[in-house]
Structures are given as C-alpha cells and as structure tokens.
Amino acid sequence: MLENNEISYNSEILRKLIHLCSLSIPVFYSIFSKEITLKILVPLMFIFVISDILARFFKPVKKFIYLVFGAILRKHEKGEKFVLNGASWVLISAVGTILIFPKIIAISSFSILIISDISAALYGRKYGKHSFLDKSFEGSSAFVLTAIIAIFFIGYMSSAPWTFYFTGIIASFIGAIVEAASIRLQVDDNMSIPLSIGSVLWIGGLIAAYFNNGYLSVL
C-alpha cells in the first residue's frame, strides 16, 4: 500500500464519508442560481476557517475539535504549525470554483474532486502497489475512471455536446496527475484538483465555441 497511511483505513473511510457529503454542493448548484448557492457557502466557509483559526490560538477550541474529529485528522492538521483542515479547503474550493468558472465547469470539476479523490484514496490505500508520483498508479487509475464516469453523467444530464466529453476525458487525466503530485506541488488537492480540471474544461470550451460546438453556457 503506497497511499498516505497517517490514519487507519477505517478512519480514512470515515473521513471520506464526511467528504462525500460535499457532493451536495454541486447538486444544489445544479438546481439553484450562483447567487443563492454562494449566500449559503460563503458564510459556511468563514465559519470553518474561523474555527480553524480559533483552534490554533485557543486551547479549549482545539481540544474540542480533537475530541470530535481527532481520529480522522491527518498529522499536518494536528501539528503546531497553523494549517487549514480539509473541510475548510473544500469550502474555499467550492466558493472559488463557483466564482471563477461557468456553471457546468464548476459542477463538473467540483464533483470530480469529491468522487474521484475519494475513489483514489480508498482504492489506492487498499490495492496500491506501484508508485506514481506521490501516490499509487492504482489510485490514480481509480481517479481517472470515476472522473470520466462523472463527466459522462453530467454531460448526459445537461445534454452537452461531444466536445464536453472529449475535453472532460483529457481533464480527467490532468486531474489525476495533479492529485498524484499533490505533495510535491505543496498545494492542497482540494484546490489543485478542481482548478486544474476546471481550467482544462474552460480552455476546451473556448476552443469548442470557436467551432460552434461550445458547452460553456450549458446548465
């Protein structure tokens, strides 16, 4: 097993189950407007970030967070150096992705972050035997497969043109590479994954629009 094993596999599963709840964000955004979605996400983002800051400077807050979530926190999230935990980064990523990208790209890139990151982590820790950058080839393969499935599902549900599927496949591989290189990049993968996937989809969408097969306005 080559994947991060700072916490037990059962704790990893629990962490990812909590992470899976974030899939409600792209689902919500697919139904409601950007303005309504951000009115909910921005306050939540500040609450989580402020909680991280308070945990750094106030021991009672830190003790409470460790008591509730200690088993699923990674080493760097429990160290003396101030860092934001994964939940804060997910919300920052969600807000940033929605602000930066067109709707179909924001939904796609954030959905892949949740689904494929979970798949890569759990499958990689269980079956990873061959190294690939900072992770395992098996985990990265799970990332690509689930990302492509997500792209095809979103594309089908939104009646996107073929250019979306084509660009989405390319973005899935790019996202897997970025996820696998997360340690050496020194960027939280909750940010690097949707930004890399979203950028590829955006560039592809602009090129597709030039040939009258655009998808940026879908959804």
Task: Note the pLDDT tens digit of each residue in 38-57.
Answer: 999 999 999 988 888 887 77
Residue 99 pLDDT > 70? yes
Residue 95 pLDDT > 90? yes
For residue 179, tell me if it sits in a domain: yes
For residue 217, tell me if it sits in a domain: no
Residue 1's pLDDT is what?
Answer: 46
Segment 71-86 mean pLDDT: 60
For residue 142, tell me if it sits in a domain: yes
Total tally of structural domains belonging to the chain: 1
**C-alpha–C-alpha distance, residues 152 and 202, integer Å:** 17
Residue 145's domain comprises 9-210
**C-alpha–C-alpha distance, residues 111 and 25, integer Å:** 8
Q: How confident is the model at residue 140 (pLDDT cuts 50, 70, 90)?
A: very high
For residue 72, tell me if it sits in a domain: yes
**C-alpha–C-alpha distance, residues 198 and 191, integer Å:** 11
For residue 2, tell me if it sits in a domain: no
Determine the Cα angle at 19 with ends 119 and 150, to 5°: 45
Residue 115's pLDDT is what?
Answer: 95
Where is mean pLDDT largest: 59-73, 84-98, 113-127, 167-181? 167-181
For residue 1, tell me if it sits in a domain: no
Record the pTM: 0.84
Per-residue pLDDT tens digits for 175-191: 999 999 988 888 888 99
- For the record, the structure tokens of 82 come out as 């101030």
Per-residue pLDDT tens digits for 12-34: 776 777 778 889 999 999 999 99
For residue 117, tell me if it sits in a domain: yes
**C-alpha–C-alpha distance, residues 7 and 15, integer Å:** 10
Segment 72-79 mean pLDDT: 54
Segment 96-114 mean pLDDT: 96
Distances from the Cα of 2 to the Cα of 146, 147, 217, angstroms: 20, 21, 41
Specify the higher pLDDT residue, 121 or 155: 155
Q: How confident is the model at residue 211 (pLDDT cuts 50, 70, 90)?
A: confident
For residue 219, tell me if it sits in a domain: no
